[in-house]
Amino acid sequence: MDSADSATAARTAPHEERHEPRAKRRPVHRFSAWLAALLLAGVSTVIGFRTADSDGVTPVPQILAFLPWLIVPAVAGLLLAALARWRVGLVWGVVVLGGVAWFMEPYGKTDDPEGHAVAEIRVMASNVEFGQATQGLLKAVRKEKPDLLFVPECDYSCSDTLRDELPRSDYPYRTASEAGGAEGSVIVSKLPLKKASGLAGTLGMPGAVAELKNGHQVRVQLAHPMPPLPRQLSTWRTELAGIRDYAAEGKRANRSTIIAGDFNATQDHAAFRDILDTGGVRDAASLAGSARTPSWPADLMSPLGTQIDHVLLTPDFSARDARFLEIGHTDHRALVVDVTLHGTDR
């Protein structure tokens, strides 16, 4: 090799050594960028529907139920974008994380109602999953002593057991949609109940009017619309709209209302927010500072899961001490909340 060749080799060798490691990293960077884009695109789609106040189509409604947990793929996408040194992905990831964080805030007003307290009512709502959790519910009722008990999925056996084992001196009043399996539902009460037409739906949703000692009357309605299954989204929307119309009717008539049960929807579903907005009701758990406490599925450790069991109240109610209880043999946690009716004595 002559001197010219040696000089050329000396100039090019370091240059090649500098580029070889970079070339080896490119496939890793490319894969990280593609994976980051996939994750961020998925989260962005769901956040886009949430921003547009729409539940979209499957699988968007199902994913919206777990919106707070979108923070996991969002963070993963951001880290992958950083690994790939992808500046656009980094900005995208920050924006997506901001969107998830924004919508994690509790929805709806939480201001105090006007007027002094005129009645204290303890409300319990518990889906007993085809009646399987009836014994666990009985134990919880004996301990918590609710004034109003809403029990979705209370089949014939469950209904008979509640009638036989809850003392009639404590719970002399009830209204029910007697049926088997998930279609049965019962409202049990310490307060006198007047008959009222319930809501139409695939599953039983009985209703009544509770009469308080001070002369006030409160409409009470059990909620149990169909879940947002892929082929039943229209039914889910229609039955939630029925609950919205019921709440809106009470708003127009200025009537105190409690709607409780398994709504199969969260505050991240547009159909549920429509009940709060159009119907003029508020979520008791949110009023009590427990807006994101999960109620389903119960076999997941808290804080995993989502809140689909609710107690909704007209603005003349305040709420405190909302608790979600494990009662066993059901995929739902029971919700217990103390509510106060405000106004003027009649």
List domains and CATH numbers for the chain. 3-103 (no CATH), 116-343 (3.60.10.10)
What are the tens digits of pLDDT across the range 15-51?
Answer: 444 444 544 557 778 999 999 999 999 999 999 999 9
pLDDT at 184 over 70: yes
Rounded CA-CA distance 241/267 in Å is 15
What are the tens digits of pLDDT across the range 125-177?
Answer: 999 999 999 999 999 999 999 999 999 999 999 999 999 999 999 999 999 99
Tell me which residue has tokens 């949110």.
286
Is the separation of the CB atoms in 274 and 244 below 8 Å? yes
Rounded CA-CA distance 142/138 in Å is 6
pLDDT at 7 over 60: no
Q: How much is the mean pLDDT over the chain? A: 93
Give the pLDDT of residue 258: 98
Phi-psi region of 31 (alpha: psi -120 to 50; beta: other; left: phi over 0): alpha
Give the pLDDT of residue 214: 85
Confidence of residue 325 (pLDDT cuts 50, 70, 90): very high
Query: Which residues, in sequence order, are CB contacts of 251 under 8 Å at separation 6+?
Result: 279, 280, 281, 314
Rounded CA-CA distance 333/337 in Å is 13
What are the tens digits of pLDDT across the range 211-254?
Answer: 998 889 999 999 999 999 999 999 999 999 999 999 999 999 99
pLDDT at 100 over 50: yes
Rounded CA-CA distance 125/65 in Å is 19
Confidence of residue 1 (pLDDT cuts 50, 70, 90): very low
> Can you name the residues that pair with 262 across neighbouring β-strands?
309
Give the pLDDT of residue 5: 52
Rounded CA-CA distance 236/278 in Å is 17
Q: Which of 19-23, 57-61, 112-116 has the highest mean pLDDT?
A: 57-61
